[in-house]
Structure 1
Amino acid sequence: MALQRRGVLAGTYGASAAERDQPAAGATQADLAVEAREQASDRAPAKEAEPNQERALSSVSEPASAGQGTASSIQAPVDPAGKERSRQEPAKKSQKASKTEKDSADRQAPLKAVAKAKRTQLREDENARLAVENSYRSAKRRPREWGNAGIRISTTVKARLATRRALDEEVFGVKFAETHYIDAALARVPENAHEAIKWVHEYLDAFDLKGPTTVGTTGRLRHETSERLDRVARAMRMEAGYGYIGHLQTAAVDRLLDSLDRWDSQLQPRTTELDDTEY
């Protein structure tokens, strides 16, 4: 009698799948429920392992460049305090620089103003010297440009003018007349009445209670200088009345002599005694 071969599942020790699935004879309903739960618990780990295996296989199958991209995406930690300092430090430096520049400008402003005033004064002093020389040349070479005019100056200024004439005669080798200086001084009088009155007030304020004594004389002035003085005199009378013309002439000559003295001090070389020590 030939034997019939039947399929065998691994792990059933020769029992067929149909036989293994069949409930045992005499088993109760409770035993069947327990056996069903055990079979379900045996199949659950296999199902949970499948996703883990899929993830493992996918990680292996990914190209090597994926790991490089992940590494490159990692950035160094950001330092907020450092970034804040980097934003604030340039502002502080700029504020400090602007303050330093402002302080330097504030210190230099008065010095520049003084230097500018000195240059202006030096230019006026030089022009005063040239004006006297031009008056001398005009009187000697073009006498018809001159005519008689009434002149009134103080005795103090008249004495000072005599000293200046003697000094210039020695320096230049020519004989200057009073009218050469007076003409140069009156040609510099401002035509604005308020400015001319200011000249008079500044001159008179240098005296105490008693003003200077003036002396009238007849001299010679260039025609254009006489006409200029007449215009200023009329404007001053309209603004301040009479009595200012003589003081204006004296103030103008006094200013001219001051300019000539300053100009001489600029031309003289500075000398230092050997015994003097400068610190």
Structure 2
Amino acid sequence: MPRSTHASTDHSFKSPEGLRALLIRLQQNGGAGWRADAEAAALMRHAADRYAALARKHGLDPWEAAAAAFDAMRSPSIRRADDPWAMVTRAVQVTCIAEERARGLLCSVHQARRAHYSAFHDAERFSDRENPLLEYHPAFRTEPVDVDPSPQAENVGSAVEDAVALFTLLGWPAERARTAIEYVCTRLADSPSRSSAFEALRRDYNARALLDVPQRAWTAMLRVLLGHPDPAFAHTTFGRGILLRLLVGEPLRALLSDEQIVAEIAGHVPRSET
């Protein structure tokens, strides 16, 4: 059966063979045709229209995709390809993906093409998140050097009782304080660090609702029990938390004389049900 003559009679650059012929002509004399040939401008306008949707998909301008097509069209492999337009399309697609990744990674397009760099996630600014990165990211955390890795069970029980007594003396309902503190201690025992326990508990909305503790009072309780998460307080008494201070032998009367702890607890007493 004879081959259709449609493709062979279409000599415009919109057909694969027409594009091949035009590229061969444009590359003559060291590529001088790109500057002088009137059809070169029409080819670039067609490329901008052809790849406009692909460019928008990756957040680019259509003429950026046309520029990627121009770079590909000057390659000898495009002129030798069975389907030059298919090769150009693939080259533009790869470039658009690399451009998008480069913007996210804050690096050059050349680096974004390399697997070593493209495997990373997009860069994030501290202001991009609702909660400051300093509050929970382990890279910004330091642990006290005097943490007892295996406190005795009786010391833990005594620390919990003293913590409940402290909150009760400063106005918290006894039963609500005990239930909340015991829950915090349970979650702390299953966490790799105080900082991770703090972050998990701060986001534990179901537990807060079941314990009937308002958000501000709940956050204040976590700061008092586990220590303030700000790295600036890491090596201070307020940053260590009263559970750790009680475990290392600090008496309850010392906590009652700590104005910062007293103000934090007394200033966030949950309202009693009426």
TM-score of the superposition, structure 1-length normalised? 0.24
Task: Say which structure, 1 or 2, has more relative contact order (CA 8 Å, 6+ apart).
Answer: 1
TM-score of the superposition, structure 2-length normalised? 0.24
Q: Of the two, which has the highest radius of gyration? A: 1
